[in-house]
Amino acid sequence: MYKILRDCQVKPMELFQLYLYLSPQMAMPHINLLTWNLPQLEAQLPWRYLTITMFSPLSTEYIVAFNGYFTAKARSHFISSALKSSEALDWRIVPRKNPASDFPSDFEVVQIRQASHSSLLTLEDHPYIKRVTPQRKVFRTLNYTPDLPDPGATCNNDTRWTQKWQSWQSSRPLRRTSLSLAFGFWHATGRHSSRRLLRAIPRHVAQILQADVLWQMGYTGSGVKVAVFDTGLSEKHPHFKNVKERTNWTNEKTLDDGLGHGTFVAGVIASMRECQGFAPDSELHIFRVFTNNQVSYTSWFLDAFNYAILKKIDVLNLSIGGPDFMDHPFVDKVWELTANRVIMVSAIGNDGPLYGTLNNPADQMDVIGVGGIDFEDNIARFSSRGMTTWELPGGYGRVKPDIVTYGSGVRGSGMKEGCRSLSGTSVASPVVAGAVTLLVSTVLNRELVNPASMKQALIASARRLPGVNMFEQGHGKLDLIRAYQILNSYKPQASLSPSYIDLTECPYMWPYCSQPIYYGGMPTIVNVTILNGMGVTGRILDKPIWQPYLPQNGDHIDVAVSYSPVLWPWAGYLAVSISVAKKAASWEGIAQGHVMVTVASPAGNNVGGEMTSTVKLPVKVKIVPTPPRSKRVLWDQYHNLRYPPGYFPRDNLRMKNDPLDWNGDHIHTNFRDMYQHLRSMGYFVEVLGAPITCFDASQYGTFMMVDSEEEYFPEEITKLRRDIDKGLSLIVFSDWYNTSVMRKVKFYDENTRQWWMPDTGGANVPALNDLISVWGMAFSDGLYEGDFTMADHDMYYASGCSIAKFPEDGIVIAKTLKDQGLEVLKQETAVVEGVPILGMYQTPSEGGGRIALYGDSNCIDDSHRQKDCFWLLDALLQYTSYSMTPPSLIHSNSRVTPPTGTDRPLPERLEGNHLYRYSKVLEAHLGDPKPRPLPACPHLSWSKPQPLNETAPRFFYLHMYPSTLEG
C-alpha cells in the first residue's frame, strides 16, 4: 500500500481522509492522514483488497443555467446582480479553461461557501437564469467490465494497475462512497463487483455485421463527423488516419488516454487496421471528458456538448450511464444536442440481469439506447433491462433498450497498438455508433438523416431474437444491411415504438402478455414512443382515434389515450390505457382494433406549411371472465419511492456497494420473480398507481404493501380500515427503520459535496405503524439478520425489523436472529432469541378481512435476494384470500405469545428528514410537514369508438416493417 501511495505521488496534506474498503473478513477504522503511518499500515493489511477514496474539503459548487447563450461578461453580470442582495457574500465563478471558453455559453459554475437556501432562490429569481443545480462529480460511469485489479503493478511504471483498478470500480453502480462508515461491515464487496460475465471468443465485429458489404460499395464513413466522449486518445495511434481534433475537458493536462477505454471505443468505430472499425474514413472528434481515474463533472460534459454543437457533429457515442434521470442540466443538454441533429448513441447499462436498471441518458426517447448480446445471440447477463422507471410509480414504463448488438468479448484497439477485448454495454454502444456513422455516409441527401429517422431505420430493420422479451432486447438485434436498405429508400414520417400492442404474444410482449384482462380490473397501460422523422418538433393533429374491429370483438374493450402536446425533440409519448367493457364481464376471447394517430411537423427548407404522417397502432388483447375476488391481488405502487431524487437506502444493509434503492420497486422490475410466481399460482396481480382511496376494495381478496417508503393521507388510513372491516385482507412486507442506523449510514455524496441522510429506512415503519395501529399492531425499530428454518424451509432474514405489538389472539412466529443494529452501531455481535418476525390476524368484525405482517421484504425482492420465501407468500395468500391458516405455522414450535409493545418505544420519524421534498403526500410547513390535500383519483377519458366492419391484420409482427419506411 505504501508503495502504491508513494509511486502515485499522493501527498497526505492534499487529502482530507483515507478510507479502506476491505474484504468481508477484515475491518479497519478510517485513518487521519495527518497522523498516518504507511509502513505500519503496509504491515497490517494485504493491500490487494484496498480501494482508496480521496477527496478534498471543497465548497459547494452549483451549475447556473441560463435561458440562452451569453458572453462570459454578461453571465458574470447576471450572477453578480442576482447575488448582490443575498446572503451569499463569499462566492466566485469557477474558471473553465477548455476549447469552449471562447464561445458564448448557457451556464456557469458558481462556488458558494455555505450557500443558503435563500441565496439559491435569489439566483433562480433572475429573469435570465433558468435553473440552479448542484455540480455533480462521478455522476455517470463507463459501462464496461474488464478483469479485477492486478496486485503486481504500480502507478509510475505500469498503467495496468490503474486500468484494472478503475475498471473494477466502474462495475460498481452509482459511484457513491460511504465515507461516514469506516468499518469493514460497510465496505465488503457486493453483488455488482463480483458479477460473473458471459464471455465469448473475441471476433471482428464489423465483419460479422457485414460492414464489408458496404465498404465494397464504396461507403466507409467519409464525410461524417463522429464524436467519442470518453477517456481520450494518443496522438500517434497507428489505427487511426482521420483524427480531426482531440480536446480535453478535464482538469488533467493531457489529451492521451491513460485508461484504454476511449481508445477501444474509437477503434470499434473507426480503426483502419487490425481490429478494424465500421467507419475508418469518418472524421473522428475525440472529447476527453473522463480523467484516468474515471472522474468527470457535469460541467465538463456541458461544455463539451456545447462544443459538439458548434462543430456540427453528426454522431456522438456515450459509453456511459447512471441511474439519475433527474440531473436536469445534463438531460436538458442531451435534448438540445439531438435537437441540433446530433445522433446520440449510449450504453443502456451493466446492471443486469435485474429489471428496472436502465441507465441515463440511454433511457431518453431521443437517444439510441443499446443493450448487449454475446456471439451466440444470447442477451448478455450484464446488460441492463427495462422498463423505464420515468413513469413509475404511476403505472408502467416504456420499451428500452432500443436495440441490442454484440457487447461480450468484442475486439477493439489497444491503448498504444494492437487489439484487446472488452465486454459491457459500453462495447455494444460504439458498435451501433460505428454502424450509424457508416450508414450516414451511405445517404446522399443528408437532410433525411436525423436522430428520429436513424432510430426508425435501426428498429424497423432489427432482427427479433426468439424467446426474449422487449424489455431485454428492445426491437431486436442490429442488422446493418437491412438498415441500409430502409434508410436509402426512406421518406420522412412518424412511427411508433413499439409499433403494435399484442397482449397475447409471449414472451416478447412480457409482462403484458403474462396476464389476460377482465372487466373491473385496473386499466392496462402501455406507454408508446412516437418517433417523428419529419422534424425536430411536431404535434398530434386532433385526437387519436380508436377504431375497434367488429368481426374481432373490438367493441368489447374501451381505450383511453393521452399524448404529448408537443413532440420535441424528435419524439413524444402515447399512453394507451385498455379496459374491458361491461358487456364482456363474463366473456372470453380475443378483441382487436387499432388507434390512429396523425402527426404534423413544419415543412423544412423554408417551404412553409406542414408535413403530416398518419400511423396505425394495432391493439390485440385476450379477455377472460372476471376472476373471483379471492384470486385478485392488488399491489400498492403509489407508496413506493426510490432514487432519484432522495436518499432512500438499500433494504439489505449487507449489500455494501449498492447504497440506494433505485429499481422502482415494481412487480415488473425488481419484484419480477415474485410476480411470475404469483401468476403461476393462478393469482391475478394488478397495480395501484393512485392513493388507496381510488380502488374498489370489494373486487380484491388481498392488498399487498411491500417495502413502502411513502407516507399516507389520513383519508387513506380511514379508507383501508373500513375496507378491511368489509372483507379486504392485507399483507405487509416491511423492512428496517432505526434512526440511529439511519444517521450511521449517511454518506458524503461526491456529486453534491454534501452529507446525505436517509429520508426513510428500508421502509417507512412509522407510517406503516400509523396505518395498522387501529388493530393493535406495530413494527419495531429493531434491525435483525440471520439464517433460520421455518416450516421446513431454509430462510434468510436480511436487515428486517421485528413485530413490536400484535393482538393477543393473533398468531406470531419468532426466531433467533443476530442484532444487526448493534453490529452496525457498535461493531458488536449479539444473538437475540425469540424475535417476532411474522404475525397473522383475523379481524373481529363480521366478514372482516385478515392481516399478515412480515418484517423483511428482501426474500421476495430480486435485487439482493439470497433465499426466496415465495412459499411463505403462498401460505399468507392462502390465509388472507381463503382464510386457510397454514398448519405448519399454527403448530410451529416457534409460535410465541404476541408482544404487547411495552418493552421499548415504537420507532419515531427521523428528526429533520427531508421526505417532504419528494413525497406525494407531504408538503413543507413552518413546523413539521403536513399532509397535502388528497388528490383526485385518476379519471380516464375513454375514446369514442369509430367501429370498423373489417377483419384485423393476421400478423402484427409484420407491422414492425411498414411499407412506408421502405419507401
* Cα four-point dihedral sign 663, 665, 668, 672: positive
SS3 119: helix
CA–CA separation, 19 and 29 (whole Å) = 8
CA–CA separation, 379 and 352 (whole Å) = 10
Phi, psi at 882, each rounded to 5°: -125, 0
**605-631 as b/e, with b when 16 or more CB fall inside 10 Å?**
eeeeeebebebbbbbbbbbbebbeebb
The total of other beta-carbon atoms located within 10 Å of residue 346's CB is 32
Q: Of 193, 296, 423, 426, which is the active-site residue?
A: 426
Q: Is 608 left (phi over 0), alpha (psi -120 to 50) or beta?
A: left
Q: Of 187, 237, 239, 261, which is the active-site residue?
A: 261
State which amino acid sits at residue 613. S
CA–CA separation, 97 and 72 (whole Å) = 12
User: Which residues partner with 133 through β-bridges?
Assistant: 63
Angle at 593 between CA 587 and CA 597, to 5 degrees: 145
Q: Of 106, 170, 230, 594, which is the active-site residue?
A: 230
Is the previous residue joined to 644 through a cis bond, with omega within 30 degrees of 0?
yes
Contact present, 590 and 621 (Cβ < 8 Å): yes
C-alpha cell at 705: 404493501
Q: Is 421 a catalytic residue?
A: no
C-alpha distance from residue 589 to each of 504, 627, 955 (Å)? 11, 15, 18
Give, for 779, the enclosing helix (H) or strand (E).
strand 778-779
C-alpha distance from residue 696 to each of 396, 521, 580 (Å)? 21, 10, 16
Nearest to 59 by CA among 110, 13, 9, 96: 110
Q: Is 677 a catalytic residue?
A: no
CA–CA separation, 823 and 744 (whole Å) = 11
CA–CA separation, 911 and 343 (whole Å) = 47
Beta strands in 374-499 (DSSP E): 403-406, 410-413, 419-422, 494-497
293 CB-near residues (< 8 Å, 6+ apart): 162, 166
Phi, psi at 761, each rounded to 5°: -85, -150
C-alpha distance from residue 112 to each of 78, 94, 117, 821, 891 (Å)? 16, 10, 11, 37, 64
Nearest to 1 by CA among 34, 46, 36: 46
- Integer distance in angstroms from the first to the last C-alpha of the chain? 64
Phi, psi at 619, each rounded to 5°: -130, 130
Contact present, 415 and 260 (Cβ < 8 Å): yes
Q: Is 426 a catalytic residue?
A: yes
State which amino acid sits at residue 72. A
Instruction: List the catalytic residues.
Output: 230, 261, 426
